[in-house]
Chain A
């Protein structure tokens, strides 16, 4: 124990370089590793190379390799989209060309899904109908997402009166059955494709607004938002440049999960006769038209019905997959 008495911390730890480090503090600050050679720096940098960034594409690749169902869904959506875009090329017949001699013909080599009550080729009509169904799936979803996001951000970040008004409006829209509400809007505005957009946007913004509001409420307490405030960044810039990008993963998931809802709503509205109007067609309208022949020629209604089911499921599976990849809590392991 005796030698411990002479223990001097400053010498014991070879504490010799304090003095050396005293000089030229300013220069040091500019390059704290000034003493190291270029070779050393390279080595340190190599060691510092913490995991490379995962780009969106990387994440997509992870998604496809780990979730086969989502990957297959993406392929199905892509195929349907391509068919819709290149409908004139893909479709074997003119979808509006009537052939009253061959009405309700059932499946055959010439008409894979048969012909309808006016002798039109069901498969060709489905290809053209996909255009309406996809556009109605995507566009109102996008519009309602945009509206809901802006209102949710304002409600969550500004709080007070804005929050109260927006959230009560959301409560009111959510208190009505959405299809009923959409029908009210459609009857008021009249049938037509633009009005479907408006109706579907009107009924579905509230869900998005609530999700974004709650996320804004938690994000606004983050230190980087406080940092932005401390630097004098304006509240609009904080909302749209700092909070919005951090809601993006949620928005992408909401987007993919809301699309099937829109497609189904459009189908319901068209089925009820207030959606797409002839001669334009959509899958919902085709089911509606085919329903009276359901017992004699079921293919006419079942084919577009199954198509709606497949598209809606594909978007759901893709949405689930995207959420698994983007959600940091599920992703962490």
Chain B
């Protein structure tokens, strides 16, 4: 897709989210998201990858205003959605939905399938009568592959994959433009994961949705995404088209992340693999300068003093003093 034909759907600028540390020193905070700027183009799948605690889920929620940011702006379709009053935000709310990781925690155990999928319709005044809404619920169930006979069943009567399908039906009920998929397949069995990934892709093509796909699984991300943003400790290290980024990572962290993924192919075993040492630093006291420097084999004095600025090369962006070539 050439750059010019892309329409910007959502643009985040300098987003910051800090959570106060309970019982901690005054002023100490978890720096979950620090000065993140990100653009989402219409119809694309942008993956947000990183390890646990890197702030990817928080960022996903900030973008659709499920969490208020500490500072920064989010522009959706030309409107600053964070400046809107709750009432004025309602029409935007239905255009941005979320699919959750845990298919066991994300469905109300006391509601049956119809009630669960009906809830967004009812809340947004779609369908005047119960019959109209039921018809719409049936259509959605067909779409995600849950047999209509199961309409009155409760979540605990379904398997994990089926529950995730119900969650997907609920998220797309309002025909959203943007769907944040927060680790939608990581709680599922391998054989079920493929079914749900195919379903997500089919729905995207059918309904022309834009996905923000949050995941820690780099194989899944390679399969589903058009572009990838790599996060480390609340910051974006690198953004780029999936193929380029996987084949020629620019940021050292991206490279190590990719190299750590166990490949289901014993012939590709590498007995001399270079491993990333150390642990992820605490987001309460992130390292000075580049946040990755404590784990980075290329780090020098400059990395400790100066925070690397985001640089742009073609469609790719990265923040590193010593990019790989």
Contacts and interface: CB of A to CB of B under 8 A. Distances in A.
A45 B144 CA distance: 16
B106 A223 contact: yes
A58 interface: no
B2 interface: no
B267 A227 contact: no
Contact of B123 (A52, A233, A248): A233
B98 A237 contact: no
B142 A51 contact: no
A45 B147 contact: yes
B201 A25 contact: yes
Which of the listed residues B94, B123, B144, B198 has the most CB atoms from chain A within 10 Å of its own CB? B123
A119 B158 CA distance: 66
Contact of A51 (B64, B102, B157): B157
Contacts of B170: 227, 231
Contact of A232 (B90, B147, B202): B90
A227 to B, nearest CB: 6
Interface in B101-150: 101-102, 105-111, 119-120, 123-124, 142-145, 147
Chain A, interface SS category: helix
Given A53-B154, A223-B106, A228-B119, A29 B174 contact: no
B159 A50 contact: yes
A168 to B, nearest CB: 22
B199 interface: yes
Contacts of B90: 232
Given A32-B195, A32-B199, A226-B66, A231 B145 contact: no
Interface in B64-92: 64, 66, 90
A88 to B, nearest CB: 42
B302 interface: no
A65 interface: no
A227 B98 contact: yes
A28 B158 CA distance: 21
Given A227-B100, A245-B110, A29 B123 contact: no
A127 B205 CA distance: 72
A227 B96 CA distance: 12
Contacts of A222: 105
A33 B158 CA distance: 17
A30 B143 contact: yes
A227 B106 contact: yes
A249 to B, nearest CB: 10
Contacts of A48: 159, 162
A228 B167 CA distance: 11
A278 interface: no
A188 interface: no
A7 B199 CA distance: 31
Interface of B: 64, 66, 90, 93-94, 97-98, 100-102, 105-111, 119-120, 123-124, 142-145, 147, 153-154, 156-159, 162, 167, 170, 174, 195, 198-199, 201-203, 205-206, 265, 267
The 10 closest A-B pairs by CB, nearest first: A29-B202, A231-B120, A245-B110, A223-B106, A223-B105, A233-B123, A32-B145, A224-B108, A232-B93, A223-B100
17 contacts: A31-B145, A32-B199, A33-B145, A48-B162, A223-B102, A223-B105, A223-B106, A227-B98, A228-B108, A228-B119, A228-B123, A229-B66, A230-B93, A231-B93, A231-B174, A233-B119, A246-B110
Given A32-B145, A51-B156, 17 more contacts: A9-B265, A25-B206, A26-B205, A33-B145, A48-B162, A50-B157, A53-B153, A53-B156, A222-B105, A226-B66, A226-B100, A227-B107, A228-B108, A230-B97, A231-B124, A245-B108, A246-B110
